[in-house]
Structure 1
């Protein structure tokens, strides 16, 4: 059934009371607030903050009047302010013992969520006004201006780019329950911690046992359906016990990966020599459940550390490099529990997001990391594995044996010092799921390695802006120069990195041909970080070129923002200095330091220390600028 648009909002000059307007259109307003808030807030905090923003939007003062547009402006301004805060919001509605999240959607919802994550808050506001309230462009920019957005036009252009890329998805999916904080799912959160708190409170306040029990029961929702002293268990107690029960662990059939349309961690079978060791599995589950304070818990960037809400899947349990290791997966995260086999070392639990994993990003998990190197557990669909050095693109891949799916200790990129080598894993998927599919992944200090791709230059005979695996000569040549910049992405929750050669530029003064490359790192949390490189001829492996532009939390150089331009200064072989700039293939003309040149590249004489101001234009006259102003 097609999604019907919401009825139009009331006229601006409604004479009804502000409270009446807010109550009548509460659902519309809270959806707008939710779309404006940053996705990195997480579902629970984002839902609560959206409700708080709307509930506090009533005007203060004597006048009871207030039209819809006035209240919407207050909601927009408050949501934009809330999105700039990094700490927990004060005055959130109180929800104890439960986590709230919107309904789970399908692939279109995931695509829309990724698009939202790549937009700035003002652009998300513009998209929300267009989709939820159906406002025309002029009214959107007016509403953003009232909300004190610095550049409403830029926000509208960014929103329009994403809306065009999504097509009908933006119109339909953003109106569904998946993006509606008024329709949420409830999950238990801290059942185990509350049990511990109750025991501590009871022991320290025995004289007030009855009062304490009443307070705990009322404040934390600890009722008769929890496991009590008599051993009876209601629904919530049974759910908590199941999460900690090794017998409830899910185990995929050995060949599930070869006969499923979902090739990710959910298709991994349980492997390892201790997959039936219930004592070890119970300790791992208790650590994830928060029931063992001696375990050091380390979540990756953007990853929550809360217990799983249902029994997870077992991926591996075995002894590796002096530790008992357990790998678990709850549908959203991979957890690695490791305890020393000997001595008195501390057990650790590492967590990493994997909610958008696929055949490449679910291809390997770190099973052991030591000073000597890293061992991986490879996905069951990996037919061949090898290693190669990105800085030596002409050398062949060296095969690696992985009995039982576990690789030998492999050298990783140096965490510090000079960049003399950048080892990567070269993997090939089984022909049972895809033919001739090889790809590269690299260790960036996370549980899962990052997938490396490249997008060839214009005119290379491939579809425009389509990332390819970086295993061929052109991809390896580009990554040979970019490799040493990957060190700056360590520990940031990076899912994949793409090198896009978006332009070639003949240089003046017989300077040869330069290339312009946009390196985009996408994180599991959805945010993107880009750096635009100017590469004149003559640079070798490890020399990325000149950073001409850079920006974090952006959709630039992705499918949702396929237009890029940047400029910098360059010295010709004859000693003359030039301001050079290049745009992607849809660029019709470029203005550099006040001079306009037709085409996608430009070069004008400039002093060595010149500031290179660049603006590019599409054929219809629409302008766009570099991701960030640089020299």
Structure 2
């Protein structure tokens, strides 16, 4: 869910993105890129931090071609630009960004340089030089430039400008273009490049099948013309074109539409993408492209059909709303495609994710094992799997409450995470009559090497704390893990920390003083300040670090929040 700061400042962030990306290209393309950049910024932070994150995204945006054939028949810009916007388009993308931060956002030259210093070698002198160049190009003072650009609202850019009468020379030029298109149309439909198909026997030869072994399914996999159109449409996709050979996962008729699900082959340096191509009575084209977090073959939501694609090694699927006692319902599968799921998405809850339970059963080697995976009704959203560490892997009760906490209690954000690995470091009764609880850690596979989070869970799956810190990432073993959280009970804050059997000592450093706990699974509890007692205001917590020490002398540091 978007934070209040993000919703309130969305227009400002979109203005920064649009002006930084506007090189005079089609307004609909610039607006789409700006919206995508803003959507990629994770909410939940003050506006300056959101703006800094957006700057990092904009600096990573690849350049786009400046071909503008649409100007033959359409007005070039629905909002005629003033002198400041015209001059801004002549700058490089990096100069546009620092100028917008300086003049539009009101940052000083050193502040604008510091905003992008982690990603771009720029100094305050460079910012001043760019501003001086804009003064000379526009012949306006700084206040007039800022007034023009602040008055620009990118939300008013219409995606399809109204047509204007074509000029005579444009109509003459269009005649051979239309004739060539009519001649090439039969070849494009029937003789284009056909994507690759995967044989059904490939996945049966390995004990660890992946996306590369997913066999092509569906009744239309022999329709070469349909597959050619789908592959050509994806290659023409301006935002997310494929990399490497294209492979068909599914091709068939679903609810009156011809559907082709494709994946690319980027190699080992990048994650694959999955595209969905639809042909309906009045429309055709690629409707969604999603980059996967790994090459594991899992659930793929099929457009707006409420159906899911499954690879053949995932069997006996059932689904339930996450909860302490989920009500599992079986889901029928035919030719790799499930029956429709009865989503009630108009009453959002649990991040609009359901929990799917399947059996991973390869034909060659291996052994059957249970797979839990979250999936939503949005084909562009992530579908993370859930793994459980140590003793939690055999505790179904804990798996249920942990899944409920992840999806419904904010223990993790599912829409932008990779696979989850959940562990339990401590179970017992909290001090001062807090009742039974378990200290649970949640690590995400992506982004790689991201720190994990920790929460205290009640026996019903309710989170008792905000997210705390851990010393782990997705690859860290349970033995050396440690976590710390702030817990509020009876108007007093408590520091609660625990570690795995490979940690021998937990100790604190900072404003709470020196405290320590020893043992094979050390548990540390320190009473903190009262909630509203001076000198600790309601929003203040002491600065504290928790140090986890292992027998070999290795130390790691954790901050509880």
TM-score class, shorter-chain normalisation, is: 0.5 to 0.7
Aligned to 1:328: 262
- Structure 1 residues 616 and 488 mapped into 2: Cα distance closer, same or farther (>3 Å)? closer
Aligned to 1:501: 424
Give the deviation of 1:307 after TM superposition: 3.2
CA distance in 2, matches of 1:348, 1:283: 10
CA contact (8 A) 2:472 2:482 kept: no
Give the deviation of 1:415 after TM superposition: 7.6
Aligned to 1:193: none
Q: Given the alignment of the two structures, is residue 269 of structure 1 paired with residue 215 of structure 2, yes or no?
A: yes
C-alpha distance after superposition, 1:281-301 (max 9, x if no partner): 22211111117x7xxx6xxxx
C-alpha distance after superposition, 1:332-377 (max 9, x if no partner): 42433333422x346334222347323xxx032222324xxx2111
Higher relative contact order (CA 8 A, sep 6+): 1
Q: 1:401 aligns with which of 332, 348, 364?
A: 332
CA contact (8 A) 2:508 2:545 kept: yes
In the alignment, structure 2 segments of 5+ residues that lack a partner are 1-51, 66-116, 119-168, 174-186, 267-271
Aligned to 2:97: none
Give the deviation of 1:495 after TM superposition: 2.9
Q: 1:546 aligns with which of 432, 441, 465?
A: 465
CA contact (8 A) 1:413 1:422 kept: no
Q: Given the alignment of the two structures, is residue 591 of structure 1 paired with residue 508 of structure 2, yes or no?
A: yes
Q: Given the alignment of the two structures, is residue 472 of structure 1 paired with residue 412 of structure 2, yes or no?
A: no
CA contact (8 A) 2:482 2:497 kept: no
**1:94-493, aligned counterparts within 5 Å?**
248-260=194-206, 263-290=209-236, 305-310=240-245, 312-332=246-266, 333-342=272-281, 344-345=282-283, 347-354=285-292, 356-358=294-296, 362-370=297-305, 374-393=306-325, 395=327, 397-412=328-343, 414=345, 417-419=348-350, 423-430=354-361, 432-433=363-364, 434-444=366-376, 445-446=378-379, 449-456=383-390, 460=391, 468=393, 472-485=396-409, 489-492=413-416
CA contact (8 A) 2:298 2:311 kept: yes
CA distance in 1, matches of 2:212, 2:244: 16
In the alignment, structure 1 segments of 5+ residues that lack a partner are 1-80, 96-147, 150-202, 208-240, 298-304, 463-467
Give the deviation of 1:246 after TM superposition: 5.8
CA distance in 2, matches of 1:512, 1:471: 20
C-alpha distance after superposition, 1:473-497 (max 9, x if no partner): 33223223333146963542x3312
SS at match of 2:308: strand
Give the deviation of 1:245 after TM superposition: 6.4
Aligned to 2:497: 581
Aligned to 1:534: 456
CA contact (8 A) 1:364 1:376 kept: yes
CA distance in 2, matches of 1:505, 1:394: 24
CA distance in 2, matches of 1:401, 1:89: 43
- Structure 1 residues 509 and 471 mapped into 2: Cα distance closer, same or farther (>3 Å)? closer
Q: Structure 1 length as normaliser, TM-score?
A: 0.51
Aligned to 1:615: 546
CA distance in 1, matches of 2:62, 2:196: 39
CA distance in 2, matches of 1:580, 1:560: 21
CA distance in 1, matches of 2:260, 2:432: 61
Give the deviation of 1:266 after TM superposition: 1.7
- Structure 1 residues 347 and 478 mapped into 2: Cα distance closer, same or farther (>3 Å)? same
SS at match of 1:275: coil
Give the deviation of 1:449 after TM superposition: 2.3
SS at match of 1:286: helix
Give the deviation of 1:534 after TM superposition: 2.1
SS at match of 1:393: coil
- Structure 1 residues 404 and 91 mapped into 2: Cα distance closer, same or farther (>3 Å)? closer
SS at match of 1:409: coil
Give the deviation of 1:471 after TM superposition: 8.2
Superposition RMSD on alpha carbons, in Å?
4.4
C-alpha distance after superposition, 1:246-268 (max 9, x if no partner): 66422222121111355112212
CA distance in 2, matches of 1:446, 1:432: 29
Once the two structures are overlaid, the 10-residue window that deviates more, 556-565 or 603-612, is: 556-565
C-alpha distance after superposition, 1:438-477 (max 9, x if no partner): 2111114445621112224xxx4x8xxxxx4x88333223
- Structure 1 residues 421 and 270 mapped into 2: Cα distance closer, same or farther (>3 Å)? closer
Q: Given the alignment of the two structures, is residue 556 of structure 1 paired with residue 473 of structure 2, yes or no?
A: yes
CA distance in 2, matches of 1:377, 1:313: 15
Aligned to 1:601: 523
Aligned to 1:571: 489
CA contact (8 A) 1:566 1:625 kept: no
- Structure 1 residues 351 and 415 mapped into 2: Cα distance closer, same or farther (>3 Å)? farther
CA distance in 2, matches of 1:436, 1:91: 44
Aligned to 2:444: 521
